[in-house]
């Protein structure tokens, strides 16, 4: 992401009420938050189908329940709009008739219908796909279906449509699996302190969580577990849409080659290229039938 578009997350601290009491309250709050998260857990797997990777992915994190989805999505819509305005001001926003914009939106139209089974909210999202002029090798999908690709990832890696679908599916998977909401839920449970219980019951502190604990969705980093999960879900989305999931192997070969020297931002928290290629190859037998069926059905 170009420097002008990077937003630094705000820091936050609880009001001082005595160091000893503050530490005790935090210890209690952490324990209460984790216990509450465990109590909130449950529900079926994301997509408990007989084929595909649904059984390998499992249910959403209990921490997602600590923060309202609507507030996360509203923040994403606002930040995405701001990013587009800044790109437009620099003449770095791809026009609606730009060949690469048309290409990206065509691929998205094939992927999006298969997102609904993973997250019912996706049916109501106002999906957007835009292209930002930047040498950075990066792409993302914010909550509420706000997708952006940088020209660097397309131009430098010379991505095929199948490889673009793998990247886009991966990024969409982050939004569907609500990884940003999970991260903020963890922040609420561990950082708000004793107010976490009242926050869950009345959401009185959640607004503060959005601005103080990771609200800058454009720079939010996910865990390696999140990244591996997004690989699986994204591969299935691409396969169901008729894109060859074997492109995940060539994609990460290209990514690994590009990471020599300074790693691309896209790879900042991702598993190594060799690890994810091996993971993709292990899961191919589960998704190749979906791809073959999609191709057969046109």
- H helix runs in the chain, sequence order: 19-40, 54-57, 69-89, 99-111, 151-157, 161-176, 179-191, 196-202, 206-212, 224-240, 247-258, 273-296
Which residue of the set 73, 128, 163, 171 is catalytic? 171
Q: Which residues, including other chains, have CB under 8 Å from residue 288's CB and lie 6 or more apart? A: 239, 245, 246
Catalytic, 86? Answer no
Structure tokens at 149: 């690709």
Burial group, residue 18, by CB count within 10 angstroms (0-12, 13-18, 19+)? exposed
Q: Which residues, including other chains, have CB under 8 Å from residue 108's CB and lie 6 or more apart? A: 127, 129, 147, 168
Which residues are identified as catalytic?
171
């Amino acid at each position: 992401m170009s420097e002008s578009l990077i937003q630094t997350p705000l820091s936050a601290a609880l009001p001082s009420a005595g160091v000893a009491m503050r530490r005790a309250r935090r210890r209690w709050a952490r324990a209460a938050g984790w216990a509450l998260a465990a109590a909130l857990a449950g529900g079926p797997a994301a997509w408990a189908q007989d084929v595909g990777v649904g059984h390998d992915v499992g249910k959403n994190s209990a921490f997602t329940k600590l923060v309202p989805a609507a507030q996360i999505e509203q923040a994403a819509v606002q930040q995405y709009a701001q990013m587009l305005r800044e790109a437009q001001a620099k003449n770095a926003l791809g026009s609606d008739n730009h060949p690469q914009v048309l290409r990206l939106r065509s691929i998205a139209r094939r992927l999006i219908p298969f997102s609904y089974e993973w997250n019912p909210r996706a049916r109501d999202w106002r999906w957007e796909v835009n292209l930002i002029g930047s040498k950075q090798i990066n792409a993302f999908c914010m909550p509420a279906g706000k997708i952006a690709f940088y020209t660097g990832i397309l131009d430098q890696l010379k991505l095929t449509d199948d490889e673009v679908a793998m990247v886009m599916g991966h990024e969409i998977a982050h939004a569907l699996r609500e990884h940003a909401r999970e991260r903020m839920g963890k922040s609420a449970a561990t950082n708000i302190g004793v107010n976490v219980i009242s926050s869950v019951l009345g959401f009185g502190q959640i607004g503060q969580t959005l601005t103080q604990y990771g609200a800058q969705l454009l720079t939010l980093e996910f865990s390696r577990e999140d990244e591996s999960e997004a690989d699986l879900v994204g591969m299935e989305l691409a396969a169901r849409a008729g894109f060859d999931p074997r492109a995940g192997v060539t994609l990460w070969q290209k990514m690994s080659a590009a990471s020599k020297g300074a790693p691309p931002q896209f790879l900042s928290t991702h598993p190594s290229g060799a690890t994810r290629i091996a993971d993709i190859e292990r899961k191919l037998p589960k998704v190749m039938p979906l791809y073959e069926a999609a191709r057969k059905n046109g």
